[in-house]
Structure 1
């Protein structure tokens, strides 16, 4: 029997999620309201240690509404890591604001706090402070929030945490998602837990939570007829998907453990190959090991990152380059950036290996065998 395709980070759902979904279906709570939605929000808020959680249709919707809560308007600037997925910057553009792209550090792959501080100081000295700063927790590892929070507090600028990839991670023993004005989670199909789609805004700020709920339900006023005093959005998560999320949340610990074991396996099995280096593990927190990523030094390894990708693909194994920085994206070519060499290098040499929580020992062996075969070819 031929081997099946190995995906990068597929959904990992089972009998518990199916049971909860069918119970929600049978209860007829299928709209974006219901007991599972309320319970899912309460459970996530408790896990992260915040007062409020608002379940939404996507992590991008959560980013959009977090920026609205921060007061971002047309013509404003927002500091955004260049090394991230496009949704982080797209949400800024939705509001007619402009992202200013900030480079990463080589020792964590997250946004460089020193560059953020420098840009805040420079812009505030000119009387043109950015309206907000977005930090992204890359590949399940938190950004360095100590200096970021200090700088944002000093200059009176809102900090938003894009923790789309980081549920279950922590920074100095404080959960991902709990930093700044609001945290953003994603439950897309490839994330650490999934609802098939969806996301969440989490916050300790009462006003932010209330405004998010209001805008996410078309900004309908609490009247017996339909009245709207602001433009709203159809952004709420359905009760059915929340039921799936509740089942996933119960398995979060075991799924993180499985991804951690996969990351350690890859490091042990490939760490001796010259020219391969794995994403650094920051000493200030715990990653959720969403994806295991490495860098390929083509000269030392004997083959490029793209050669490894090609060989994996021929063996029906999905792997991907790391994020292409936003300052290199055609759509953002006219945006201001600070630095960029680090994130450009991470993209040029970076590789994400299959890391799903249901990955079998045989699957991991297949991945390792292909990578080692590429290395052996060059020596031969």
Structure 2
């Protein structure tokens, strides 16, 4: 988001906010916050603290929940249409930017989709797009465009741009991580986000795949590090390396095989041609693999924001006539084109 804002700074004065909910269940949401029941999610706890620290370090304006400055805005750029500032989106142009892999469409998510209008009940990103509230949806690949269309986004709102951080994976081959030739396990914060995780079984599964090769574990930053570390020490062989911080993508670039649970970093391994294990269907991951465009996604998304901000009609009308000013036309396509 910061990268997109930088490219628009000549025309827009950017303000930022961590994700927050401002819909009809606002009082219930406030009760959850007051009782610290969302401390392991993106809206509260150390993840929000990390975001606030980033804004302060880069001297960015933090209009948290639109309650600090209370501005009316010309454009909202967001990465969720589940946890959204409904009060702003009802009156403001909006562009959705896919930020990574969506959570699995499990049985609970399918039930929520079939019987309710409230994707927030999944407590995950599985139904991101179901609200269809944003005007334009910038997504990672043609495969993801089809996914979002199936979830509920109107096809004429979708545009394939690639997504920042996952659009130039080849560059990761040049990195400063000092180790090579190991099997890497990248875990997921399933327990912290209220999902079951048989970590003992997963660790033993990774040990079998490694088959005596060096084994490295890199934990998700939202995990309970003490618990996760103790489990690896108990169930993995002596000499297994544990990393609670560091650049996961660079670690993947230097590994010989990657084992994941539900993690966007599986795409890094796939793009680099590394064997990948995932709780997701790997064939489906390959179909949804973000397009590689040499790191041009941020510029493409900023171009869409700039042109749509000037456009007098709807998002759908805008995309029907949109022509990229800064990107090759063949890499920008609507989901049904």
TM-score by length of 1: 0.28
Structure 1 or 2: more strand by fraction: 1
Between the two structures, name the one with larger relative contact order (CA 8 Å, sep ≥ 6). Answer: 1
TM-score by length of 2: 0.30
